[in-house]
Protein backbone atom coordinates (compact mmCIF):
# COMPACT_ATOMS: atom_id res chain seq x y z
CA UNK A 1 0.00 0.00 0.00
CA UNK A 2 1.07 3.58 -0.66
CA UNK A 3 1.88 5.78 2.34
CA UNK A 4 0.57 9.33 2.09
CA UNK A 5 0.77 12.44 4.23
CA UNK A 6 -2.39 14.52 4.29
CA UNK A 7 -1.27 18.02 5.24
CA UNK A 8 -3.98 20.09 6.94
CA UNK A 9 -3.96 23.86 6.96
CA UNK A 10 -7.26 25.78 6.86
CA UNK A 11 -9.31 22.72 5.91
CA UNK A 12 -9.99 21.26 9.34
CA UNK A 13 -12.73 18.81 8.42
CA UNK A 14 -13.36 15.25 7.28
CA UNK A 15 -16.31 16.08 5.04
CA UNK A 16 -15.74 17.12 1.42
CA UNK A 17 -12.00 16.68 1.85
CA UNK A 18 -10.45 15.54 -1.43
CA UNK A 19 -6.88 15.06 -0.12
CA UNK A 20 -8.18 12.77 2.63
CA UNK A 21 -10.40 10.91 0.16
CA UNK A 22 -7.64 10.46 -2.44
CA UNK A 23 -5.05 9.34 0.10
CA UNK A 24 -7.46 6.84 1.63
CA UNK A 25 -8.16 5.33 -1.80
CA UNK A 26 -4.56 4.25 -2.27
CA UNK A 27 -3.52 3.12 1.21
CA UNK A 28 -2.11 4.35 4.50
CA UNK A 29 -2.98 7.90 5.64
CA UNK A 30 -0.69 9.98 7.87
CA UNK A 31 -2.44 13.20 8.94
CA UNK A 32 -0.09 16.11 9.69
CA UNK A 33 -0.62 19.65 10.94
CA UNK A 34 2.32 22.09 11.07
CA UNK A 35 2.14 25.37 12.95
CA UNK A 36 4.22 27.32 10.47
CA UNK A 37 6.85 29.48 12.17
CA UNK A 38 7.92 31.00 8.84
CA UNK A 39 4.55 32.33 7.71
CA UNK A 40 4.79 36.15 7.76
CA UNK A 41 1.11 36.35 8.73
CA UNK A 42 1.37 34.84 12.19
CA UNK A 43 -1.93 34.01 13.85
CA UNK A 44 -3.71 36.53 16.03
CA UNK A 45 -4.88 35.81 19.57
CA UNK A 46 -8.45 34.85 18.66
CA UNK A 47 -7.31 32.68 15.74
CA UNK A 48 -5.02 30.68 18.00
CA UNK A 49 -7.90 29.93 20.35
CA UNK A 50 -10.21 28.84 17.54
CA UNK A 51 -7.47 26.76 15.93
CA UNK A 52 -6.77 24.89 19.16
CA UNK A 53 -10.40 23.83 19.52
CA UNK A 54 -10.80 23.06 15.81
CA UNK A 55 -7.70 20.84 15.86
CA UNK A 56 -8.96 19.13 19.02
CA UNK A 57 -12.17 18.23 17.21
CA UNK A 58 -10.37 17.08 14.04
CA UNK A 59 -7.91 14.99 16.03
CA UNK A 60 -10.79 13.26 17.81
CA UNK A 61 -12.40 12.44 14.48
CA UNK A 62 -9.12 11.06 13.14
CA UNK A 63 -8.65 8.76 16.14
CA UNK A 64 -5.98 11.02 17.68
CA UNK A 65 -3.61 10.20 14.83
CA UNK A 66 -2.65 13.75 13.77
CA UNK A 67 1.07 14.45 13.90
CA UNK A 68 1.42 18.00 15.30
CA UNK A 69 4.62 19.88 14.47
CA UNK A 70 5.91 23.44 14.73
CA UNK A 71 8.53 24.94 12.48
CA UNK A 72 9.35 25.32 8.81
CA UNK A 73 7.26 23.03 6.56
CA UNK A 74 9.87 23.29 3.79
CA UNK A 75 12.31 21.55 6.12
CA UNK A 76 10.01 19.28 8.13
CA UNK A 77 7.99 17.67 5.36
CA UNK A 78 10.87 16.45 3.14
CA UNK A 79 12.55 15.02 6.25
CA UNK A 80 9.39 13.14 7.26
CA UNK A 81 8.84 11.78 3.79
CA UNK A 82 12.41 10.56 3.46
CA UNK A 83 12.61 9.04 6.93
CA UNK A 84 9.31 7.15 6.67
CA UNK A 85 9.52 6.38 2.95
CA UNK A 86 6.26 8.21 2.27
CA UNK A 87 5.08 8.12 -1.33
CA UNK A 88 2.75 11.11 -1.55
CA UNK A 89 1.78 14.41 -0.03
CA UNK A 90 -1.86 15.43 -0.42
CA UNK A 91 -3.16 18.89 0.50
CA UNK A 92 -5.50 21.66 -0.53
CA UNK A 93 -4.22 24.44 -2.74
CA UNK A 94 -3.20 27.69 -1.05
CA UNK A 95 -4.09 31.09 -2.50
CA UNK A 96 -2.11 33.44 -0.25
CA UNK A 97 1.30 34.61 -1.56
CA UNK A 98 3.30 32.82 1.13
CA UNK A 99 1.27 29.62 0.75
CA UNK A 100 1.69 29.61 -3.02
CA UNK A 101 5.46 29.98 -2.67
CA UNK A 102 5.57 27.29 0.02
CA UNK A 103 3.73 24.76 -2.13
CA UNK A 104 5.95 25.48 -5.12
CA UNK A 105 9.01 24.91 -2.92
CA UNK A 106 7.57 21.61 -1.67
CA UNK A 107 6.96 20.43 -5.21
CA UNK A 108 10.60 21.10 -5.99
CA UNK A 109 11.97 19.42 -2.87
CA UNK A 110 9.84 16.25 -2.71
CA UNK A 111 9.17 15.90 -6.43
CA UNK A 112 6.25 17.03 -8.57
CA UNK A 113 5.00 13.47 -8.95
CA UNK A 114 4.58 13.11 -5.17
CA UNK A 115 2.78 16.41 -4.58
CA UNK A 116 -1.00 16.48 -5.09
CA UNK A 117 -3.12 19.58 -4.38
CA UNK A 118 -6.81 20.32 -4.91
CA UNK A 119 -9.02 23.40 -4.73
CA UNK A 120 -11.01 22.89 -1.55
CA UNK A 121 -11.27 26.56 -0.57
CA UNK A 122 -13.16 28.25 -3.39
CA UNK A 123 -16.08 27.60 -5.68
CA UNK A 124 -14.25 28.98 -8.70
CA UNK A 125 -10.48 28.92 -9.18
CA UNK A 126 -9.09 32.45 -9.62
CA UNK A 127 -7.36 31.43 -12.83
CA UNK A 128 -10.66 30.33 -14.37
CA UNK A 129 -12.41 33.69 -14.13
CA UNK A 130 -11.34 36.63 -16.29
CA UNK A 131 -12.74 39.37 -18.48
CA UNK A 132 -13.14 38.90 -22.22
CA UNK A 133 -9.75 40.55 -22.76
CA UNK A 134 -8.08 38.07 -20.41
CA UNK A 135 -7.42 40.57 -17.59
CA UNK A 136 -8.73 40.08 -14.03
CA UNK A 137 -11.91 41.71 -12.80
CA UNK A 138 -11.67 44.61 -10.36
CA UNK A 139 -15.41 45.17 -9.83
CA UNK A 140 -17.51 42.70 -7.88
CA UNK A 141 -20.81 42.60 -9.77
CA UNK A 142 -19.42 41.67 -13.21
CA UNK A 143 -16.94 39.31 -11.52
CA UNK A 144 -19.72 37.42 -9.77
CA UNK A 145 -22.65 37.73 -12.16
CA UNK A 146 -20.81 37.47 -15.44
CA UNK A 147 -17.52 35.81 -14.54
CA UNK A 148 -18.57 33.24 -11.93
CA UNK A 149 -22.25 32.45 -12.39
CA UNK A 150 -21.89 32.16 -16.16
CA UNK A 151 -18.71 30.08 -16.01
CA UNK A 152 -19.63 26.70 -17.45
CA UNK A 153 -20.88 24.07 -15.01
CA UNK A 154 -21.95 24.90 -11.49
CA UNK A 155 -19.43 24.31 -8.66
CA UNK A 156 -18.69 20.65 -7.96
CA UNK A 157 -20.75 18.45 -5.67
CA UNK A 158 -19.18 17.91 -2.23
CA UNK A 159 -17.57 14.61 -1.28
CA UNK A 160 -18.89 12.45 1.60
CA UNK A 161 -17.54 12.65 5.13
CA UNK A 162 -14.69 10.17 5.49
CA UNK A 163 -12.60 8.60 8.24
CA UNK A 164 -9.71 6.81 6.49
CA UNK A 165 -9.48 3.04 6.84
CA UNK A 166 -5.83 3.00 7.87
CA UNK A 167 -4.63 5.98 9.90
CA UNK A 168 -1.05 6.12 11.17
CA UNK A 169 0.47 8.37 13.83
CA UNK A 170 4.20 9.02 13.39
CA UNK A 171 6.31 9.61 16.45
CA UNK A 172 7.92 12.94 15.54
CA UNK A 173 4.87 14.92 16.56
CA UNK A 174 4.18 16.80 19.78
CA UNK A 175 1.00 17.05 21.82
CA UNK A 176 -1.47 19.68 20.63
CA UNK A 177 -1.11 21.58 23.91
CA UNK A 178 2.61 22.00 23.20
CA UNK A 179 1.80 24.24 20.25
CA UNK A 180 0.88 26.92 22.82
CA UNK A 181 -2.28 27.97 21.03
CA UNK A 182 -4.42 28.27 24.17
CA UNK A 183 -4.64 31.73 25.71
CA UNK A 184 -3.43 32.12 29.29
CA UNK A 185 -5.82 35.04 29.80
CA UNK A 186 -9.37 34.56 31.15
CA UNK A 187 -10.51 36.07 27.84
CA UNK A 188 -9.46 32.82 26.15
CA UNK A 189 -12.11 30.86 28.04
CA UNK A 190 -14.78 33.53 27.88
CA UNK A 191 -14.64 34.15 24.14
CA UNK A 192 -15.51 30.57 23.14
CA UNK A 193 -18.77 30.41 25.11
CA UNK A 194 -20.71 31.69 22.09
CA UNK A 195 -19.46 28.94 19.75
CA UNK A 196 -19.46 25.20 19.16
CA UNK A 197 -16.04 24.91 17.55
CA UNK A 198 -16.40 21.59 15.76
CA UNK A 199 -17.17 20.27 12.32
CA UNK A 200 -20.60 19.20 13.51
CA UNK A 201 -21.00 22.68 15.01
CA UNK A 202 -20.41 24.13 11.54
CA UNK A 203 -23.16 22.00 10.04
CA UNK A 204 -25.48 22.79 12.94
CA UNK A 205 -24.85 26.48 12.39
CA UNK A 206 -25.71 26.18 8.69
CA UNK A 207 -28.86 24.17 9.37
CA UNK A 208 -30.07 26.58 12.05
CA UNK A 209 -29.48 29.54 9.74
CA UNK A 210 -31.37 27.92 6.88
CA UNK A 211 -34.27 26.88 9.09
CA UNK A 212 -34.71 30.09 11.06
CA UNK A 213 -32.82 33.00 9.53
CA UNK A 214 -32.37 32.66 5.78
CA UNK A 215 -35.92 33.73 4.96
CA UNK A 216 -35.91 37.51 5.28
CA UNK A 217 -32.10 37.58 5.08
CA UNK A 218 -31.78 40.31 2.45
CA UNK A 219 -33.43 42.92 4.68
CA UNK A 220 -32.94 41.59 8.20
CA UNK A 221 -29.19 40.95 7.86
CA UNK A 222 -28.60 44.70 8.30
CA UNK A 223 -30.03 44.78 11.84
CA UNK A 224 -27.36 43.64 14.33
CA UNK A 225 -29.74 42.71 17.13
CA UNK A 226 -31.89 40.51 14.86
CA UNK A 227 -29.38 37.69 14.45
CA UNK A 228 -30.19 37.14 10.76
CA UNK A 229 -26.59 36.59 9.72
CA UNK A 230 -25.27 33.05 9.32
CA UNK A 231 -22.15 33.40 11.51
CA UNK A 232 -20.57 30.78 9.26
CA UNK A 233 -17.51 32.94 8.54
CA UNK A 234 -15.17 31.40 11.18
CA UNK A 235 -16.12 27.90 10.09
CA UNK A 236 -15.48 28.79 6.44
CA UNK A 237 -12.20 30.51 7.26
CA UNK A 238 -10.90 27.39 9.04
CA UNK A 239 -12.42 25.05 6.48
CA UNK A 240 -14.59 23.24 9.02
CA UNK A 241 -17.29 23.24 6.37
CA UNK A 242 -16.54 23.69 2.68
CA UNK A 243 -18.11 26.34 0.47
CA UNK A 244 -19.27 23.67 -2.04
CA UNK A 245 -21.09 21.97 0.84
CA UNK A 246 -22.88 25.21 1.74
CA UNK A 247 -23.63 26.00 -1.91
CA UNK A 248 -24.98 22.52 -2.61
CA UNK A 249 -27.27 22.64 0.42
CA UNK A 250 -28.58 26.06 -0.63
CA UNK A 251 -29.37 24.64 -4.06
CA UNK A 252 -31.72 22.06 -2.52
CA UNK A 253 -33.97 24.74 -1.02
CA UNK A 254 -37.33 25.34 -2.64
CA UNK A 255 -39.20 27.27 0.05
CA UNK A 256 -36.88 30.25 0.49
CA UNK A 257 -37.63 33.49 -1.43
CA UNK A 258 -35.15 33.84 -4.29
CA UNK A 259 -34.20 37.38 -3.20
CA UNK A 260 -32.96 36.03 0.15
CA UNK A 261 -31.25 32.98 -1.30
CA UNK A 262 -29.54 34.93 -4.06
CA UNK A 263 -28.36 37.61 -1.66
CA UNK A 264 -26.78 35.10 0.69
CA UNK A 265 -25.09 33.39 -2.24
CA UNK A 266 -23.72 36.78 -3.31
CA UNK A 267 -22.13 37.11 0.13
CA UNK A 268 -20.27 33.88 -0.60
CA UNK A 269 -19.42 35.55 -3.89
CA UNK A 270 -17.75 38.42 -2.01
CA UNK A 271 -15.57 35.86 -0.26
CA UNK A 272 -14.61 34.49 -3.68
CA UNK A 273 -13.86 38.04 -4.87
CA UNK A 274 -11.51 38.69 -1.95
CA UNK A 275 -9.50 35.56 -2.71
CA UNK A 276 -9.56 36.45 -6.40
CA UNK A 277 -8.10 39.88 -5.66
CA UNK A 278 -5.46 38.39 -3.38
CA UNK A 279 -4.47 35.91 -6.08
CA UNK A 280 -4.17 38.50 -8.84
CA UNK A 281 -3.02 41.46 -6.72
CA UNK A 282 -1.06 39.95 -3.79
CA UNK A 283 0.25 43.35 -2.72
CA UNK A 284 -3.18 44.18 -1.22
CA UNK A 285 -2.08 42.59 2.06
CA UNK A 286 -0.20 45.78 2.91
CA UNK A 287 -0.13 48.09 -0.11
CA UNK A 288 -2.94 50.24 -1.47
CA UNK A 289 -4.36 48.74 -4.64
CA UNK A 290 -5.00 52.34 -5.73
CA UNK A 291 -1.51 53.90 -5.46
CA UNK A 292 -2.96 57.42 -5.23
CA UNK A 293 -3.73 56.64 -1.59
CA UNK A 294 -0.02 56.26 -0.92
CA UNK A 295 -0.06 60.05 -0.44
CA UNK A 296 -3.04 60.24 1.90
CA UNK A 297 -2.22 62.26 5.06
CA UNK A 298 -2.98 59.66 7.73
CA UNK A 299 -2.63 60.70 11.37
CA UNK A 300 -0.97 58.85 14.22
CA UNK A 301 -2.70 59.10 17.59
CA UNK A 302 -2.29 56.26 20.06
CA UNK A 303 -4.99 57.59 22.38
CA UNK A 304 -7.62 57.70 19.64
CA UNK A 305 -6.62 54.25 18.41
CA UNK A 306 -6.84 52.77 21.92
CA UNK A 307 -10.27 54.33 22.47
CA UNK A 308 -11.47 52.76 19.22
CA UNK A 309 -10.01 49.36 20.08
CA UNK A 310 -11.54 49.32 23.55
CA UNK A 311 -14.99 50.60 22.56
CA UNK A 312 -14.59 53.91 24.39
CA UNK A 313 -15.18 56.40 21.58
CA UNK A 314 -18.34 57.96 23.01
CA UNK A 315 -20.30 56.85 19.95
CA UNK A 316 -22.47 54.02 21.30
CA UNK A 317 -22.96 51.97 18.12
CA UNK A 318 -19.21 52.02 17.46
CA UNK A 319 -18.45 51.06 21.05
CA UNK A 320 -21.07 48.30 21.07
CA UNK A 321 -19.58 46.78 17.91
CA UNK A 322 -16.01 46.93 19.17
CA UNK A 323 -17.01 45.31 22.44
CA UNK A 324 -18.93 42.57 20.61
CA UNK A 325 -15.75 41.90 18.65
CA UNK A 326 -13.56 41.55 21.73
CA UNK A 327 -16.08 39.47 23.67
CA UNK A 328 -17.15 37.05 20.94
CA UNK A 329 -14.46 37.03 18.23
CA UNK A 330 -17.12 38.22 15.78
CA UNK A 331 -18.62 41.47 14.55
CA UNK A 332 -21.81 42.02 12.57
CA UNK A 333 -21.00 42.77 8.93
CA UNK A 334 -22.71 46.18 8.71
CA UNK A 335 -20.97 47.24 11.88
CA UNK A 336 -17.61 46.27 10.42
CA UNK A 337 -18.25 48.96 7.82
CA UNK A 338 -19.41 51.46 10.45
CA UNK A 339 -16.41 51.05 12.77
CA UNK A 340 -14.05 50.87 9.79
CA UNK A 341 -15.37 54.11 8.34
CA UNK A 342 -15.09 55.76 11.76
CA UNK A 343 -11.45 54.70 12.09
CA UNK A 344 -10.18 55.69 8.66
CA UNK A 345 -12.46 58.61 7.81
CA UNK A 346 -13.36 60.30 11.09
CA UNK A 347 -10.18 59.51 13.01
CA UNK A 348 -8.07 59.40 9.80
CA UNK A 349 -6.00 56.56 11.25
CA UNK A 350 -4.41 54.24 8.69
CA UNK A 351 -6.44 51.23 7.63
CA UNK A 352 -3.48 49.04 8.67
CA UNK A 353 -4.45 49.71 12.30
CA UNK A 354 -7.93 48.33 11.71
CA UNK A 355 -6.59 45.44 9.69
CA UNK A 356 -4.18 44.49 12.50
CA UNK A 357 -6.82 44.75 15.24
CA UNK A 358 -9.32 42.64 13.33
CA UNK A 359 -6.56 40.12 12.60
CA UNK A 360 -5.91 39.75 16.31
CA UNK A 361 -9.53 39.73 17.51
CA UNK A 362 -11.63 38.02 14.84
CA UNK A 363 -12.22 34.28 14.78
CA UNK A 364 -12.76 34.63 11.03
CA UNK A 365 -9.55 36.63 10.49
CA UNK A 366 -8.75 35.72 6.90
CA UNK A 367 -5.85 37.21 4.96
CA UNK A 368 -7.95 37.68 1.81
CA UNK A 369 -11.16 39.02 3.37
CA UNK A 370 -9.38 41.15 5.96
CA UNK A 371 -7.10 42.83 3.42
CA UNK A 372 -9.71 43.37 0.71
CA UNK A 373 -12.33 44.45 3.26
CA UNK A 374 -10.20 47.14 4.84
CA UNK A 375 -9.11 48.46 1.46
CA UNK A 376 -12.79 48.60 0.48
CA UNK A 377 -13.63 50.59 3.61
CA UNK A 378 -10.68 52.95 3.15
CA UNK A 379 -11.54 53.57 -0.49
CA UNK A 380 -8.18 52.44 -1.82
CA UNK A 381 -9.09 48.93 -2.99
CA UNK A 382 -10.97 47.23 -5.82
CA UNK A 383 -14.60 48.24 -6.25
CA UNK A 384 -14.09 50.28 -3.10
CA UNK A 385 -16.57 52.44 -1.28
CA UNK A 386 -15.88 56.00 -2.45
CA UNK A 387 -13.89 57.92 0.10
CA UNK A 388 -16.64 60.51 0.39
CA UNK A 389 -19.08 57.78 1.55
CA UNK A 390 -18.66 58.22 5.28
CA UNK A 391 -20.89 56.20 7.57
CA UNK A 392 -22.56 58.37 10.20
CA UNK A 393 -22.74 56.24 13.37
CA UNK A 394 -25.73 58.15 14.71
CA UNK A 395 -27.77 57.67 11.54
CA UNK A 396 -26.70 54.03 11.40
CA UNK A 397 -28.00 53.57 14.96
CA UNK A 398 -31.29 55.24 14.15
CA UNK A 399 -31.82 53.14 11.06
CA UNK A 400 -30.54 49.70 12.09
CA UNK A 401 -30.84 49.67 15.92
CA UNK A 402 -34.05 51.64 16.28
CA UNK A 403 -34.89 50.48 19.79
CA UNK A 404 -31.28 50.54 20.97
CA UNK A 405 -31.29 46.79 21.69
CA UNK A 406 -27.79 46.19 20.33
CA UNK A 407 -26.35 49.19 22.16
CA UNK A 408 -28.05 48.16 25.40
CA UNK A 409 -26.64 44.64 25.10
CA UNK A 410 -22.99 45.61 24.56
CA UNK A 411 -22.75 48.99 26.33
CA UNK A 412 -24.28 48.22 29.72
CA UNK A 413 -23.49 51.74 30.97
CA UNK A 414 -26.32 52.88 28.69
CA UNK A 415 -28.69 49.99 29.38
CA UNK A 416 -31.22 52.25 31.13
CA UNK A 417 -30.96 55.05 28.59
CA UNK A 418 -33.80 54.53 26.08
CA UNK A 419 -33.70 55.16 22.37
CA UNK A 420 -33.25 57.64 20.81
CA UNK A 421 -31.19 59.13 23.65
CA UNK A 422 -28.77 56.19 23.66
CA UNK A 423 -27.71 57.04 20.09
CA UNK A 424 -26.10 60.34 21.15
CA UNK A 425 -26.08 60.63 24.94
CA UNK A 426 -24.08 63.89 24.88
CA UNK A 427 -27.21 65.66 23.58
CA UNK A 428 -29.50 64.09 26.16
CA UNK A 429 -31.01 66.30 28.92
CA UNK A 430 -29.23 65.92 32.23
CA UNK A 431 -32.32 64.74 34.10
CA UNK A 432 -32.73 61.87 31.60
CA UNK A 433 -29.06 60.95 32.01
CA UNK A 434 -29.36 61.07 35.77
CA UNK A 435 -32.41 58.83 35.73
CA UNK A 436 -30.47 56.31 33.63
CA UNK A 437 -27.38 56.66 35.90
CA UNK A 438 -25.24 57.86 32.99
CA UNK A 439 -22.41 60.20 33.95
CA UNK A 440 -20.66 61.41 30.83
CA UNK A 441 -16.94 61.60 31.27
CA UNK A 442 -17.14 59.23 34.24
CA UNK A 443 -18.92 55.95 33.52
CA UNK A 444 -19.27 56.60 29.78
CA UNK A 445 -16.98 58.81 27.67
CA UNK A 446 -17.81 61.97 25.84
CA UNK A 447 -17.25 61.72 22.06
CA UNK A 448 -13.54 61.57 21.28
CA UNK A 449 -14.05 63.52 18.05
CA UNK A 450 -16.66 65.72 16.42
CA UNK A 451 -18.38 64.00 13.50
CA UNK A 452 -18.92 67.10 11.39
CA UNK A 453 -15.44 68.61 11.64
CA UNK A 454 -13.72 65.23 11.28
CA UNK A 455 -15.81 64.45 8.20
CA UNK A 456 -14.88 67.82 6.69
CA UNK A 457 -11.21 67.16 7.44
CA UNK A 458 -11.36 63.80 5.69
CA UNK A 459 -13.14 65.22 2.65
CA UNK A 460 -10.61 68.04 2.44
CA UNK A 461 -7.76 65.53 2.51
CA UNK A 462 -9.51 63.51 -0.17
CA UNK A 463 -9.97 66.59 -2.41
CA UNK A 464 -6.23 67.23 -2.24
CA UNK A 465 -5.62 63.59 -3.12
CA UNK A 466 -7.80 63.94 -6.20
CA UNK A 467 -5.97 67.10 -7.25
CA UNK A 468 -2.64 65.30 -7.02
CA UNK A 469 -4.10 62.54 -9.15
CA UNK A 470 -5.19 65.02 -11.82
Instruction: Kindly state whether residue 62 falls inside one of the protein's structural domains.
Output: no
Distances (CA, A) of 459 to 80, 291, 297: 57, 18, 12
pLDDT at 470 over 50: no
Give 240-296 pLDDT, tens digit per residue: 999 999 999 999 999 999 999 999 999 999 999 999 999 999 999 999 999 989 989
**Measured between alpha carbons, how far is 57 from 64 in angstroms, rounded to an integer?**
10
**Measured between alpha carbons, how far is 101 from 413 in angstroms, rounded to an integer?**
49
Instruction: Kindly state whether residue 19 falls inside one of the protein's structural domains.
Output: no
Instruction: Kindly state whether residue 407 falls inside one of the protein's structural domains.
Output: yes
**Measured between alpha carbons, how far is 229 from 223 in angstroms, rounded to an integer?**
9
- The rounded mean pLDDT for the chain is 95
pLDDT value at residue 180: 81
Give 125-160 pLDDT, tens digit per residue: 999 999 999 999 999 999 999 999 999 777 789 999
- Judged by DSSP in three states, 306 sits in helix
Instruction: Kindly state whether residue 308 falls inside one of the protein's structural domains.
Output: yes
Total domains, the chain: 1
Query: 55: part of which helix (H) or strand (E)?
Result: helix 45-61
| CATH at residue 320 | 1.10.579.10
Instruction: Kindly state whether residue 313 falls inside one of the protein's structural domains.
Output: yes
Instruction: Kindly state whether residue 124 falls inside one of the protein's structural domains.
Output: no
Nearest to 367 by CA among 438, 281, 250, 261: 281
Structural domain that includes position 358: 291-469
The pTM assigned to this predicted structure is: 0.96
Give 174-188 pLDDT, tens digit per residue: 999 999 898 777 888
Phi and psi torsions of 417, nearest 5°: -95, 110
Instruction: Kindly state whether residue 21 falls inside one of the protein's structural domains.
Output: no
pLDDT value at residue 468: 52
Burial class of residue 431, CB neighbours in 10 A (0-12, 13-18, 19+): exposed
Amino acid sequence: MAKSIVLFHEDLRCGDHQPLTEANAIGEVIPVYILDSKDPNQLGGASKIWLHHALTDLNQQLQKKICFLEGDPKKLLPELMAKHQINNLFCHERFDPYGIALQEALKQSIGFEKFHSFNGTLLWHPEEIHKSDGTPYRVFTPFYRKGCLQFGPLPRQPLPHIIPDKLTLIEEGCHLDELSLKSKLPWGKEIIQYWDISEQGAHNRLNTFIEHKLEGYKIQRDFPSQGHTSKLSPFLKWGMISVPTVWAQLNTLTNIPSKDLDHFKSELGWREFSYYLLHHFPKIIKENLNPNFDHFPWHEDDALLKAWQQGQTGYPIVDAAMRQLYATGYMHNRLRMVVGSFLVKNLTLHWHHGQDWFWDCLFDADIANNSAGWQWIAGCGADAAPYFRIFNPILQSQKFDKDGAFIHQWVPELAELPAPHCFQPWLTPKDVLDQANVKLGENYPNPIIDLTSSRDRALNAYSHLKSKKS
